[in-house]
Copies of this chain bind each other. A is one copy, B any other.
Amino acid sequence: MELRTATQEVREASLGWMLKKLAAGLDADMEALLAPLGLDMPSFAILMTVLERHPLSQAGIAERIGIAPYRVSRGLDRLEGLGYVARRPDPGSRRSLVIRPTEDGASLAPRLYGVVETVNARLSAPLSETERAQLTGLLQRMVAARNGR
């Protein structure tokens, strides 16, 4: 009985368990907010990257986000269908394409940042400003440590 209670705490109070729980809730929130824009998570990530870093090749997008090229291809199909980005021939190489946002895509930017902010605000609602900054700092160091391995 004592063991059971202890292990219960080990798991449900563990950093990992809470992190996963929060990340799962976050995904659900994101998807709900993105659906009205016609976006899913991959196309959202691609569109954000294009807005931030254009001009980019598809290979460049794949590398930056860390997803496979074929997924960029599909994501761009969707984004192009929605009129948010354009694939244009690269003057420098006929086997490359240059991806840029359209005007519609660029004008969507504020709503996309709005999604990010909404989701983060909801997440950190129970925290004070100070605590939120604290949390951000701690997480940043954890992410940095992970990337550095």
Contacts and interface: CB of A to CB of B under 8 A. Distances in A.
Interface string A20-51: 11111111001000000000000000001001
A142 interface: yes
Interface in A1-26: 3-4, 7-8, 10-11, 13-16, 18-26
Contacts of A48: 7, 11
24 contacts: A10-B113, A10-B117, A11-B116, A13-B140, A14-B116, A14-B120, A15-B123, A15-B132, A15-B135, A15-B136, A16-B123, A18-B142, A18-B143, A19-B19, A19-B22, A22-B142, A22-B146, A23-B23, A23-B24, A123-B142, A126-B144, A127-B138, A134-B134, A135-B138
Interface of A: 3-4, 7-8, 10-11, 13-16, 18-27, 30, 48, 51-53, 109, 113, 116-117, 119-120, 123-127, 131-132, 134-136, 138-146
